[in-house]
Chain A
Amino acid sequence: MFQAAKQSKLPKNESANILSVDNGSTLYRLSLYDQPPLYDVTVEEFETSALDRLRILAEIESSAARNRSWDETKQVTMTQCGKYLPLNSNSALGIDVLEERRKDRLGHFVLRLAFCRSEELRRRFIRAETTLFRIRFETDDSNERRAFLDSKDFNWISVGAEEKERYKEQLKHFISAKTDLDGAFQSEAFYKVKWTTIPDLVEKRKVFLKGGYAYVPAREQASIIYSAFEERLEAALRVTSRAIPLVDEDTRLNPILDNLAQGFIAGIPSDWVASAETTGEGITADMVDSLAKQHFPLCMRVLHHSLRKDHHLKHFGRLHYGLFLKVLGLSIDEAIAFWRKSFAGGPGSDKFDKEYRYNIRHSFGLEGRRMNYPAKNCLQLHSAHEAGCPYRQLESSPENLQSALLSSYSAQGLTINDLPEIIAQVKKKSYHVACTRVFEITHARSVRKGEGLSDGESVTHPNQYAARSIELEKETKDPKMKVDHGV
C-alpha cells in the first residue's frame, strides 16, 4: 500500500536507491520523518506499530489536558515510551536499534494516514508529535544530537565577529550569566534566521530582531528545529490528505485507520486487559454493594444506584453492568443470584427466569453463540446512547453531573471545591481526564495529582478503574505486599 501511495511520487530513476535512502533515515535516533517507509509490511505490523505510537500520543495529549508540568510530561512519556515504543541511541548494546527505528517510522507514517483527514485531527496530531519529538530531542545523546543536526540544513547563517560586536549591547540581553556576562557573551555563538521561521521566539521577545532576521543564541537552536519539524509535518499532512482517496480503496486498511482516528478522539486506544491478579477473587453477590461504594467508576455507580432504586435496569444497562461485574470477578452462579435479588420486587421479577437468566448465561458464554464477551471499554461507553459514560451524557447539564459526583463520591473525599476542575475537563470533552481526576481525588492517600492510575496512565476502562482501586486498597492495608500490576 505504501508503495502504491508514496513511491509513485518518487522519480523513476530513484527507485533503485530506495534501500540506501531508507538506511539514511535510520542512521539517527531522531528523525524528521521526511522519508516514508518504502518496504512491505504485514497488516498486523501496520496496526500494532500505529497502536503503540497512539498510546504515547494520547498520553501526551492527556498530559496537556491535565496541566502537567513539562518535567512531569517528559517523565510520563518516557515511561510509556519505554513500555511501548523503545527507541535507543546508537550506543545501546544488544538491542536491535534498526528494528526499533523501523517501528518508530512506520507507526508515524500510519498515523499520518489516519489523522490527515480533518483539520482538527491534523492539528492535534501535529501538536502531540511535536511534543514527542521535543522530548526525544531533549533526552538524546548530545553527540548524536549534534550529528543529527549537522545532517540537516535549516538555513541558518552564522553571525560573524564584527556583526556580533556591532549589536553587542542588544545581544547581551539574551545571555543569562550570573557573574561573568562579558565572558559568557564572548563564548556564546549566534545564528541568524528569517524571523518567520521562529515565530514562537519572536512572540515572546526572546530573540534580537534586526532587518527581518532573528539573532538566536546557539542554545535556542532547539526551538528552530521544533518549528521546522512542525512546519514540515503540517505540509506533509496536507499532501497526504490529498492522496488519501488512493488508500480509501483498500478494504484491509480502511477499518484500521478509522479505528485509529476514533481512538484518538476518545483519548486513548483502549485495550485494557483484565489480568489474573484482579479477577477471579471470588466476589460474591452481597459484596457488590460495598465494592460499588468504594471502587466503582461513576458510570457503574450510576447503574448500580438506579438498579437499587428501581429494582430494574434496561437492556443496555444490564449488558454494561453485567459484563463489568463479570470481569470484576462475579461468577455465573453469583451473578444470577445477584440479579435475581436485585430484580425482586421490580417490574421484571416475574419474568426473570424466563428472560434475564438466559441473558446473563449468554453473556458468560454459556448460551447461544457461546462467546465470552469482554466488558465494554470507555470508548464503547462514550458512544453508547443508553447507560454510557455519564461524564459525556451529562455534559450539557453540569448541575446534574455535579450532584451525581457529590452523592457518589463525597464519602471518599470529593468536595465541592474539586468540581470546577472536573467540569472544566468535561467541557473540553476530555471525559477520561475528568474520570481520572476523580480517581486521583478519591484516592488522594496513595495517588498524587497527575499520577493517574499508575505511572500517569488515564482511565480507559471501567474495570481498570475498579481493579486499580481495589489494588490500592490492598497496598495500603498491607504495604509490604508488592502488587505487580499488569497493564
Chain B
Amino acid sequence: MAPSSDIDIDPTSEEVLLTFYRRLYPFKQLFKWLNRGPERAEKESRLFPYREFAFTLRNDAYLRYNSYSSDVEMKKHVCLLTPSRFEIGPVYSAQPKDKKTVRPTHFRAEKREVVFDIDMTDYDPIRTCCSEADICKRCWGFIAIAVEVLDTAIRDQFGYTKLLWVYSGRRGIHLWISDKEAFELNDDQRKAMVEYLTVIKNGKEPGKRVNVRFGMKDLPPTLKEACQAINQTFDDLILQDQDCFGSQEGYETLLSLIPDAKLASRLREKWSQKPDSPSYIKWDEMRTEILALKDKHARQNMRYAMEDILLQYAYPRLDAEVSKHRNHLLKAPFCIHPKTGRICVPIDPNRIREFDPATVPTVGQLLAELDTAGSDTSDGEHRDDWQRTSLKPYIDMFEEYANNVQEKQTKIDLSW
C-alpha cells in the first residue's frame, strides 16, 4: 500500500477494511464495555452474547441479528465479512443469532444503553455556512452548545454519569448512556426522557417551533438553565459567526417569531433599509425597541419571546426516534465513515469546543502511520497496533470509559 497521503485510499475497499479491523479496531474494549462485567464471567454472561450487531456490507447489503459469545469470535467474523460499518442493537431475551428458532414472543429487546443522535441536517434551516452533508469548524459551534446543554442536563437532572460522546464521522454526534438504570429503562421511560429533553420538533420549515410554556408561565427550571448556558454563546455563535439575521430571509424568520405585530413591523421597516447590516446590530435594535415598550405586560411577553428565540436557535435538536425505542440500532464507535474515511472517535464533552472534525484521523492516515511504525508481528498476530497510531488517545479514552461501566459484582466470599 502506498505510504503517502490518504487521498488515494478508498475507505470502502476490502483491503483497507480488513487491515483496519485486524490491526486497529478495539474489539477487546468494545466487549468490555458492552458486557458490563469482567471478562472471566464471559460464559455466564447474558449481555454480550445476547447483543445484536447489524452489518452494512460493502455492497450495501444489510445483515441483522448477528451475535457472538466473545470479542475474539466477533473479530473473526467481522474480518471475514469486512463490512463498511456496523451498528449496535439491544440486548435481547435470547441470542439474536437464534432468532429464527425461538418463538417470536420470546424474542424481545430487553435492555440497551440510552442513545441520542444529533445531526447537523436538523440545523439546516438556521445555519448559514454549509448545508446538508457538509460540516465545517463553524457549524461545529451548534454541536458544541448542544453537547454542553445536553451533557449538563443529563448529568445534573437525571443523575447519569456514564456518558460517552462519539463523533459520527461526518456531521453529527452520538451519545451513549451506560448507567445501569439507563441501560434498563423501558420504552415509555425512554420516550419520557427524550420528550423532556426535546424542545424543537423536527421539521425543515422555518417559523416558531418552540412551545414549552403552559399558558403564560415562566420557563420550566430545566429550560431556564439551558437558556442561561445558551445566552453565553448566543452572541458569538448566532450573531457573529453564523450571522443568522444578516440577510433578508434570516431577519424575516426572526420577525416571524415576534408576537408583537407592531414592534415587528417597526423593525421590518428599519431593517429593510439596510437588509445586510450585521446580526448583532439588528439584535441590539430589537432589544432597544423592547426596552422602549411602555406596557409592562407587553415587555414581559417579549422577554418570553426572546427566551424562545434563544432556544429555537441554539437548543439541541434531537433525532427523537433514535432514542425512544430499545430496538433501534446505532453505529458503533470506531467505525469508519464510508464517505469521509474518518473514524467515529469518542469526544471529551469538557473539551468539545476545541474539537475540530477536520483533525479526526482518517483510515488512510492511520494505515500510513502503521506502515511507518512497522509492526510487532513476531508471533504472527497483530497486537495493540493502535498504540503506535494517532488513534491511541481515543482508544485510551474508550477503555477508561469501558472500565468505568463495569458493574460492581457482588463479591463472592471465598474465604470459607
Which residues of A are interface residues toward B (Cβ below 8 A)? 169-170, 173, 195-196, 199-200, 202-205, 208-213
Given A173-B218, A205-B220: A211 in contact with B156 (beta carbons within 8 A): yes
Centre residue among B159, B160, B196 by max chain A CB count within 10 A:
B196
Q: Which of B20-28, B84-92, B183-191, B266-274 contacts A (4 or more CB under 8 A)?
A: B183-191
Chain A contacts for B223, CB-based, 8 A: 205
Contact among B160, B196, B212 for A212, CB-based, below 8 A: B160
Sample of 14 further A-B pairs with CB below 8 A, known A205-B220, A209-B157? A170-B221, A199-B188, A199-B189, A199-B192, A199-B193, A202-B192, A203-B191, A203-B195, A205-B196, A205-B222, A205-B223, A209-B158, A210-B159, A212-B157
B196 touches A202 (CB 8 A): yes
A213 vs B160: C-alpha distance when bound (angstroms): 11
Q: Is B132 an interface residue (CB 8 A)?
A: no
Chain B contacts for A195, CB-based, 8 A: 158
A203 touches B218 (CB 8 A): no
Chain A contacts for B188, CB-based, 8 A: 199
Chain A contacts for B185, CB-based, 8 A: 196
B196 touches A210 (CB 8 A): no
User: Closest approach, in angstroms, between the C-beta of B227 and any C-beta of chain A?
Assistant: 13
User: Closest approach, in angstroms, between the C-beta of B346 and any C-beta of chain A?
Assistant: 24
Chain A contacts for B193, CB-based, 8 A: 199, 202
Centre residue among A170, A205, A212 by max chain B CB count within 10 A:
A205
Chain A contacts for B356, CB-based, 8 A: none
Contact among A196, A205, A211 for B189, CB-based, below 8 A: A196
Chain A contacts for B189, CB-based, 8 A: 196, 199
CB-defined A-B contacts under 8 Å, sample of 13 = A169-B221, A196-B181, A196-B189, A199-B189, A203-B192, A203-B196, A205-B220, A208-B221, A209-B157, A209-B196, A211-B156, A212-B158, A213-B159
Chain B contacts for A173, CB-based, 8 A: 217-218, 220-221
Contact among A199, A211, A212 for B191, CB-based, below 8 A: A199
User: Closest approach, in angstroms, between the C-beta of B345 and any C-beta of chain A?
Assistant: 29
**Which 10 pairs of residues, A with B, have the shortest CB-CB distance?**
A212-B159, A199-B192, A170-B221, A203-B192, A211-B159, A209-B157, A203-B195, A205-B220, A199-B189, A202-B192
A130 vs B366: C-alpha distance when bound (angstroms): 58
Chain A contacts for B159, CB-based, 8 A: 210-213
B181 touches A205 (CB 8 A): no
User: Closest approach, in angstroms, between the C-beta of B349 and any C-beta of chain A?
Assistant: 18
Return the CB mask of B2-22 against A: 1 if under 8 Å, else 0. Answer: 000000000000000000000
Return the CB mask of B154-191 against A: 1 if under 8 Å, else 0. Answer: 00111110000000000000000000010001001101
A203 vs B157: C-alpha distance when bound (angstroms): 13
Chain B contacts for A212, CB-based, 8 A: 157-160, 181
A210 touches B192 (CB 8 A): no
Return the CB mask of B204-228 against A: 1 if under 8 Å, else 0. Answer: 0000000010000110111100000
User: Closest approach, in angstroms, between the C-beta of B326 and any C-beta of chain A?
Assistant: 14
Chain B contacts for A169, CB-based, 8 A: 221
A14 vs B271: C-alpha distance when bound (angstroms): 82
A196 vs B114: C-alpha distance when bound (angstroms): 13
A203 vs B220: C-alpha distance when bound (angstroms): 12
A204 vs B223: C-alpha distance when bound (angstroms): 13
B220 touches A210 (CB 8 A): no
Chain B contacts for A203, CB-based, 8 A: 191-192, 195-196
Chain A contacts for B160, CB-based, 8 A: 212
User: Closest approach, in angstroms, between the C-beta of A181 and any C-beta of chain B?
Assistant: 11
User: Closest approach, in angstroms, between the C-beta of B138 and any C-beta of chain A?
Assistant: 32
Chain B contacts for A204, CB-based, 8 A: 195
User: Closest approach, in angstroms, between the C-beta of A318 and any C-beta of chain B?
Assistant: 44
Chain A contacts for B156, CB-based, 8 A: 210-211
Chain B contacts for A200, CB-based, 8 A: 192
Given A169-B221, A170-B221, A196-B181: A210 in contact with B195 (beta carbons within 8 A): no
Find residues 130-169 in chain B having any chain A CB closer than 8 Å to their own CB. 156-160
Chain B contacts for A209, CB-based, 8 A: 157-158, 196, 222
User: Closest approach, in angstroms, between the C-beta of B264 and any C-beta of chain A?
Assistant: 29
Contact among B157, B212, B217 for A210, CB-based, below 8 A: B157
User: Closest approach, in angstroms, between the C-beta of A208 and any C-beta of chain B?
Assistant: 6
User: Closest approach, in angstroms, between the C-beta of B116 and any C-beta of chain A?
Assistant: 16
Find residues 80-98 in chain B having any chain A CB closer than 8 Å to their own CB. none
A205 vs B222: C-alpha distance when bound (angstroms): 8
Centre residue among A170, A199, A210, A213 by max chain B CB count within 10 A:
A199
Chain A contacts for B157, CB-based, 8 A: 209-212
A173 vs B222: C-alpha distance when bound (angstroms): 11
User: Closest approach, in angstroms, between the C-beta of A117 and any C-beta of chain B?
Assistant: 11
A105 vs B392: C-alpha distance when bound (angstroms): 64
Chain B contacts for A211, CB-based, 8 A: 156-157, 159
A442 vs B3: C-alpha distance when bound (angstroms): 83
User: Which chain A residue has the least Cβ–Cβ distance from B220?
Assistant: A205
A200 vs B193: C-alpha distance when bound (angstroms): 10
A144 vs B302: C-alpha distance when bound (angstroms): 48
A164 vs B122: C-alpha distance when bound (angstroms): 39
A195 vs B189: C-alpha distance when bound (angstroms): 9
User: Closest approach, in angstroms, between the C-beta of B117 and any C-beta of chain A?
Assistant: 19
User: Closest approach, in angstroms, between the C-beta of A37 and any C-beta of chain B?
Assistant: 28
A173 vs B220: C-alpha distance when bound (angstroms): 7
B191 touches A205 (CB 8 A): no
User: Closest approach, in angstroms, between the C-beta of A122 and any C-beta of chain B?
Assistant: 12
Find residues 198-252 in chain B having any chain A CB closer than 8 Å to their own CB. 212, 217-218, 220-223
User: Closest approach, in angstroms, between the C-beta of B203 and any C-beta of chain A?
Assistant: 20
A211 vs B152: C-alpha distance when bound (angstroms): 11
User: Which chain A residue has the least Cβ–Cβ distance from B225?
Assistant: A170
User: Which chain A residue has the least Cβ–Cβ distance from B187?
Assistant: A199
A169 vs B218: C-alpha distance when bound (angstroms): 12
A195 vs B159: C-alpha distance when bound (angstroms): 10
Chain A contacts for B222, CB-based, 8 A: 205, 209
User: Which chain B residue has the least Cβ–Cβ distance from A241?
Assistant: B105
A213 vs B218: C-alpha distance when bound (angstroms): 22
Chain B contacts for A199, CB-based, 8 A: 188-189, 191-193
User: Which chain B residue has the least Cβ–Cβ distance from A197?
Assistant: B189
A14 vs B365: C-alpha distance when bound (angstroms): 71
User: Closest approach, in angstroms, between the C-beta of A44 and any C-beta of chain B?
Assistant: 34
User: Closest approach, in angstroms, between the C-beta of B217 and any C-beta of chain A?
Assistant: 8
A196 vs B191: C-alpha distance when bound (angstroms): 11
A129 vs B158: C-alpha distance when bound (angstroms): 31
A208 vs B156: C-alpha distance when bound (angstroms): 12
Chain B contacts for A170, CB-based, 8 A: 221
User: Closest approach, in angstroms, between the C-beta of B324 and any C-beta of chain A?
Assistant: 11
A211 vs B222: C-alpha distance when bound (angstroms): 12
A170 vs B156: C-alpha distance when bound (angstroms): 14
User: Which chain A residue has the least Cβ–Cβ distance from B223?
Assistant: A205
A244 vs B223: C-alpha distance when bound (angstroms): 48
A171 vs B212: C-alpha distance when bound (angstroms): 17
User: Closest approach, in angstroms, between the C-beta of A241 and any C-beta of chain B?
Assistant: 9
A213 vs B222: C-alpha distance when bound (angstroms): 14
User: Which chain A residue has the least Cβ–Cβ distance from B195?
Assistant: A203
User: Closest approach, in angstroms, between the C-beta of A219 and any C-beta of chain B?
Assistant: 15
A208 vs B181: C-alpha distance when bound (angstroms): 19
B212 touches A205 (CB 8 A): yes
User: Closest approach, in angstroms, between the C-beta of A166 and any C-beta of chain B?
Assistant: 13
A202 vs B157: C-alpha distance when bound (angstroms): 11
User: Which chain A residue has the least Cβ–Cβ distance from B199?
Assistant: A205
A486 vs B181: C-alpha distance when bound (angstroms): 55
A204 vs B195: C-alpha distance when bound (angstroms): 7
User: Closest approach, in angstroms, between the C-beta of A177 and any C-beta of chain B?
Assistant: 12
User: Closest approach, in angstroms, between the C-beta of B68 and any C-beta of chain A?
Assistant: 30
User: Which chain B residue has the least Cβ–Cβ distance from A208?
Assistant: B221
A211 vs B159: C-alpha distance when bound (angstroms): 4
A210 vs B181: C-alpha distance when bound (angstroms): 15
User: Closest approach, in angstroms, between the C-beta of B110 and any C-beta of chain A?
Assistant: 13
User: Closest approach, in angstroms, between the C-beta of B94 and any C-beta of chain A?
Assistant: 16
User: Closest approach, in angstroms, between the C-beta of A233 and any C-beta of chain B?
Assistant: 14
A154 vs B181: C-alpha distance when bound (angstroms): 19
User: Closest approach, in angstroms, between the C-beta of A211 and any C-beta of chain B?
Assistant: 4
User: Closest approach, in angstroms, between the C-beta of A209 and any C-beta of chain B?
Assistant: 4
